[in-house]
């Protein structure tokens, strides 16, 4: 029983640590990814899912926020999940999560997509 309790406590402490790191990045505008655990050389985008070591669900949890969209991306030669989230303050953030380790590598305030701006202004031609 003690081992089970220690495992649960350890997982909780790890989750709080990851959340703290994510929140720290969410308050910054540092976006350039300068490292990662999975380098992209000549792989095509169709090969990205086979290279990733964490799942899309794990990446979403590390990004912290309400998820708008998530996808694998080549960012400066490294495989990352680009996760667009809405923070508790209703700010849209673009978070880059390492596809190998789950570490938050970068985050910045996101600007609305052009199509979203057109829809909000009633300029949609559909």
In this predicted model, what pLDDT tens digit does every residue of 9-34 receive, in sequence order? 444 443 434 444 444 544 455 578 98
Four-point Cα dihedral 86, 101, 51, 92, nearest 10: 10
Q: How is residue 26 written in tokens?
A: 């969410």
Domain boundaries, the chain: 2-111
**How many alpha carbons fall within 13 Å on the CB side of residue 34?**
3
pLDDT tens for 55-113 read 999 999 999 899 999 999 999 999 999 999 999 999 999 999 999 999 999 999 987 66
- Does residue 7 register a pLDDT over 60? no
The CA-atom distances, in angstroms, between 10 and each of 16, 17, 41, 43 are: 10, 11, 36, 37
Residue with tokens 């959340």: 19
The residue among 21 and 1 whose pLDDT is bigger is: 1
Beta carbons within 10 angstroms of residue 48's beta carbon: 19
d(CA 4, CA 119): 51
Q: What is the CATH number of domain 2-111?
A: 3.10.450.40
């Amino acid at each position: 029983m003690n081992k089970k309790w220690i495992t649960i406590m350890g997982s909780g402490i790890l989750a709080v640590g990851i959340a703290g790191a994510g929140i720290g990045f969410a308050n910054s505008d540092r976006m350039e990814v300068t490292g990662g655990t999975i380098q992209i050389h000549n792989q095509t985008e169709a090969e990205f899912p086979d290279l990733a070591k964490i799942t899309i669900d794990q990446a979403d949890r590390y990004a912290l926020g309400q998820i708008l969209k998530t996808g694998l991306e080549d960012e400066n030669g490294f495989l990352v999940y680009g996760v667009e989230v809405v923070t508790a303050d209703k700010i849209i953030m673009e978070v880059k999560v390492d596809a190998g380790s789950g570490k938050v590598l970068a985050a910045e305030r996101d600007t609305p997509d052009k199509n979203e701006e057109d829809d909000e202004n009633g300029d949609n031609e559909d």
